[in-house]
Chain A
Amino acid sequence: MNINATFLGQMIAMAFFVWFCTKYVWPPFVSIMEERKKRIADGLEAASKAEKDLESAQAKSEEQLKAAKVDAAGIIDQANKRAAQIVEEAKDQAREEGQRIIASANAELEQEVNRAKEALRAQVSAIAVAGAEKILEGSIDQAANEEMLNKLATEL
């Protein structure tokens, strides 16, 4: 139980072991644990960031959807208006066309009536002349009576 060189030996051994541990054993473990800590922190941060991104994306999409709905409603409204307008326009055109057809038909009818009147008048005068010739049986100077007959025809 006496103190001997083992004492020195143990001091030297311990100094060497501590040096070895400081240089080759401690650093890899500390750096690995630091690295892992950092990675976990980064991962958590990324997760919370992703959650925030997701939230904002959802809000954005909702907004866009709302805007699209408003747009669609506007477009449908406009289309409905335009359709009503087209129908109105078509109705107006049809009405005008109908009136025009009626007017031209009326004019033609009047023309026909006038023409019929003319023809009738001519025939009446011819009948009157023939009737008169029959009555007089004589040859009346056609030229002398022409004037009187025409006058009669116009009176008819």
Chain B
Amino acid sequence: MADASHSAAELTVQEYITHHLSFLTFGKIDGSWTFAHTPEEAAEMGFWAINVDTFGWSLFLGAGFLWFFYRVGRTASVENPSGAQNFVEAVVEFVDSRVSETFKYKNELIGPLCLTLLFWILLMNTMDLVPVDLLTSFGFEKFAAVVFHFEHAPFKVVPTTDPNITMGMSTLVFFMIIYYSIKNKGLGGFLGELAFHPFGKWMLPFNLIIEVPTLIAKPVSLGLRLFGNLYAGELLFLLIASMMGLWQLPAHFVWAAFHLLVIPLQAFVFMMLTIVYLNAAHEKPHH
């Protein structure tokens, strides 16, 4: 610990923050597959590289909660539900009632989709409450230095502060929007909505200028809203940790308490907007 604070003291504030905001990226550089040691190296790897830290946590959390829910569901009983079953039932019922309030069509996929999104994002956001240096400087960094001789290895534990993660999810939602739009309105109906609204067919180029960005804005805003909120939260934790000395303890507490609102709220907003967008994708054009 003394060693860690010693090395932390050697870092400038900017270096500390940059270090904590970089990903543990695995990719191909100079013809060999390896971890990127600097953000520049990570950028050099191009598209075919993977953020092992955020993606790993994302998979771990997603698989973890689904496995838990699955185990609870297998032993679930009608007459005497266990505590775990009550908990999962409460979550399922919450999601189901939100879906049935907003989603007016019949689609067996929406409920499970929203359950997955809500709980997965909630867990990924909650990783933000893990003290920033606990898993990073005092955990993985030591481990990597000893095992891989990889000094100052970055290790981001909050998957939703990675735009790849949030945009990945929102893009899949976007694909579902396109798929259900075409399925329910026909290709003509879907394109017609883009081309002939809101001003009728004589204003077609103008309509496209309005409607296409509106469509594209859906996944972009969905993904960036989540990313931005969590990234800002993480950044503020880092600033507090790097600049406030001992005063960081109460400051961390205050910010964490505030963040307790942001974490579930952002997960909820992501789920609700997904329902709203998919509901719109099911609406038949009324001509």
**Other-chain contact of A17, B47, B116, B167 (Cβ < 8 Å):** B116
Chain A contacts for B147, CB-based, 8 A: none
Q: Mark B78-116, 1 if CB is under 8 A from A, else 0.
A: 100100000011001100100000000000110111011
A14 CB to nearest B CB, Å: 5
Q: Do B169 and A5 touch across chains, with their CB atoms under 8 A apart?
A: no
Chain B contacts for A6, CB-based, 8 A: 49-51, 54-55, 162, 164-165, 168
Q: Do A29 and B92 touch across chains, with their CB atoms under 8 A apart?
A: yes
Interface set, chain A 98-147, CB cutoff 8 A to B: none
Main secondary structure on B side of the interface with A: helix
Q: Given A5-B49, A6-B54, A24-B70, A33–B93 Cβ distance below 8 Å? A: yes
Q: Do A32 and B78 touch across chains, with their CB atoms under 8 A apart?
A: yes
Q: Do B27 and A3 touch across chains, with their CB atoms under 8 A apart?
A: no
Chain A contacts for B70, CB-based, 8 A: 20, 24-25
Q: How far, in whole Å, are A47 and B208 apart by their CA atoms in the complex? A: 62
Q: Do B25 and A22 touch across chains, with their CB atoms under 8 A apart?
A: no
Interface set, chain A 1-29, CB cutoff 8 A to B: 1-11, 13-15, 17-18, 20-22, 24-26, 28-29
The total of interchain contacts (Cβ-Cβ below 8 angstroms) comes to: 117
Chain A contacts for B74, CB-based, 8 A: 28
Q: Do A18 and B89 touch across chains, with their CB atoms under 8 A apart?
A: no
Q: Do B49 and A29 touch across chains, with their CB atoms under 8 A apart?
A: no
Q: Do A7 and B89 touch across chains, with their CB atoms under 8 A apart?
A: no
Most buried by A among B43, B93, B112: B112
A28 CB to nearest B CB, Å: 4
Q: Given A17-B66, A21-B115, A29-B76, A5–B48 Cβ distance below 8 Å? A: yes
Q: How large is the interface on A (under 10, 10 to 19, 20 to 34, 35 or more residues)?
A: 20 to 34
Indicate whether B155 reaches chain A with its CB closer than 8 angstroms. no
Chain B contacts for A5, CB-based, 8 A: 47-50
Chain A contacts for B63, CB-based, 8 A: 17
The residue of chain B having its C-beta at the shortest distance from the C-beta of A27 within the complex is B73
Indicate whether B69 reaches chain A with its CB closer than 8 angstroms. yes
Chain B contacts for A17, CB-based, 8 A: 62-63, 66, 116, 120
Q: Do A4 and B49 touch across chains, with their CB atoms under 8 A apart?
A: yes
Q: How far, in whole Å, are A33 and B81 apart by their CA atoms in the complex? A: 11
Chain B contacts for A76, CB-based, 8 A: none
Q: Do A22 and B108 touch across chains, with their CB atoms under 8 A apart?
A: yes
**Other-chain contact of B73, A1, A7, A9, A24 (Cβ < 8 Å):** A24
